[in-house]
Every structure is written in structure tokens, then in C-alpha cells.
Amino acid sequence: MSDPILEVRGLTCERGERTLFRGMNFAVEPGTLVRVAGSNGAGKTTLLRLLTGLMRPVEGEILWRGTPIAKAAEDFWSELCYIGHRNGVKDDLSVIENVMINARVASLKATEAEALDALAAVGLSDFIDVPAGQLSQGQRRRVALARLWLSRSVPLWILDEPFTALDVKGVARLATLIGEHVSEGGVVMLVTHQEVPVEKARLLVIEPETWSPVRRTAVERALDDAAADEAENAAR
């Protein structure tokens, strides 16, 4: 066993009136796929946002290479690739412009040739000059995910439902890339509602509900399900 590269210690998170989880602990070695699982509203996206430093916990800390992420700040972010629920794709820019700008925002040194290779990897070579506003939901997701093909040297990938809206080929391509990243010593942490089709990876499954001090009532669950449906419809 090697030393953990990522550690979560005593993490407690509240949203609104609810404590989503309390005293969560886990440690992740290099070369691990971490699947964050559980029902709608359990706190999966919230956990990812805490791990990126976009949100602060009520208690506890997150350490990257032994340093709290709040202290490591820019050093930590330079080692992180986060792709959230929203694609961050700009409708009025072309596909290639979106990829180049996303890369620049993430401080990746990507040439146009590399961006074109990434678009070929996600199956969008025929769409490079098309405005993103004319793409389907799955194609938009592919534009956002193209960044991963430019982020092989970035050790930590945090991905919120990356397989959503992808077709069978898209899922297979992404699963292969994730498998390669993990086998090269990277850490990929993702929220997904299905089994991750990545073979032979060291797998850690985290379920925020396991750390929840209070079981949600049926009404709270129904409200969370309704909110998830609404978000899904809005994304279509």
C-alpha cells in the first residue's frame, strides 16, 4: 500500500437546515477510481464541490499531498481538473474555440493540434467549426469532456456525472481514458448512478448517506427527487 495522496478527515457538511454528512473519513491512494454513489439529494455533488475547494465544510479538512487544500490553494488547483454538472460550454463559440478557451482557463498548455486530437477522441472532428449552440446535449457534454484528453498530466480528476447524455461509444471512450489515467497513477473521483465501466481499477465507493446523522423523511426524499427531475429537464 502506498501513502494516500488525498485524505478526508472528519468532514461535516450542512446545507440549509440539513446535516448532509458528519465526520466523514476516507483516504485515497494514487491510482484509484473513487465512485461517489447514492440517491438523489444525498450530497454527492456537494461532496465533490467540497473536494474542489468551491465550498467550505462546517468541520473537518481535506488534504492533498498532506496539505489542507485551503492552504495549498493554487498548487492544488493546478493538479485538479473539475468538470461539473454544467458543461460550461458557450453557445456562441465554435466547438474548437470552446475547447481552446476551456484549456486556457484551466491553465493547460494545449496547442490547436492537441485540441483537434482531443476532439477526434470524443468523436467531434466533423463539428469543429460548428457553434456549440447548435449541438445536441450529448455533443455538448463531449465538448466539455474533451478537456480530459488534454489533462493527462493533471493527477486529480473530479467529474460530476460524466457519462450522462453520452451514447454507448462515448461511454466506452471515456471509460477507457479514465482507466488509463488511473493505471498511470491518477485519481479519478466521480459521481455516477450506474456502475463505472472501468475494468481492473482499484475502486473505492463512497456513499455520503452512510455518514448521514439523520435519515431523510419520505417527503424530503420526494422533494429531492422532484428537484433532480427538474434539473434534468432544464438541462435538456
Rounded-to-integer distance, Cα 236 and Cα 11, Å: 34
Q: Is 86 in the site for ligand ATP (CB under 6 A)?
A: no
The footprint of ligand ATP on residues 213-232 (CB under 6 A) is 224, 227-228
End-to-end CA distance of the chain: 44
Residue number, 13 or 89, with CB nearest to ligand ATP: 13
Instruction: Give the residue with the Cβ less far from ligand ATP, 183 or 192.
Output: 192
Amino acid at 234: A
Beta bridge partners of 14: 19
Q: Rounded CA gap, 18 and 214, in Å?
A: 9
Q: What is the closest distance, in whole angstroms, from the C-beta atom of residue 17 to ligand ATP in the complex?
A: 9
Among residue numbers 14 through 53, which ones bind ligand ATP (CB under 6 A)?
15-16, 20, 38, 40-46
Give residue for cell 473505492.
Answer: 204
Q: Tell me how far, at minimum, the Cβ of 13 lies from ligand ATP, in Å.
A: 9
In what order do the strands lie in the sheet containing 156-160? 80-83, 156-160, 187-191, 32-36, 202-206
Nearest CB to ligand ATP, comparing residues 45 and 94: 45
Size of interface with ligand ATP, in residues (CB under 6 A): 14
Nearest-approach distance from CB 75 to ligand ATP, in angstroms? 26
Beta-strand (E) ranges in 44-193? 59-64, 67-68, 80-83, 156-160, 187-191
Q: Which is nearer to ligand ATP, 47 or 108 (CB)?
A: 47
Q: Cell triple for residue 208?
A: 455520503
The smaller minimum CB distance to ligand ATP, of residues 97 and 224, is found at 224
Phi (first) and psi of residue 32, to 5 degrees: -130, 140
Binding site for ligand ATP (CB under 6 A): 15-16, 20, 38, 40-46, 224, 227-228
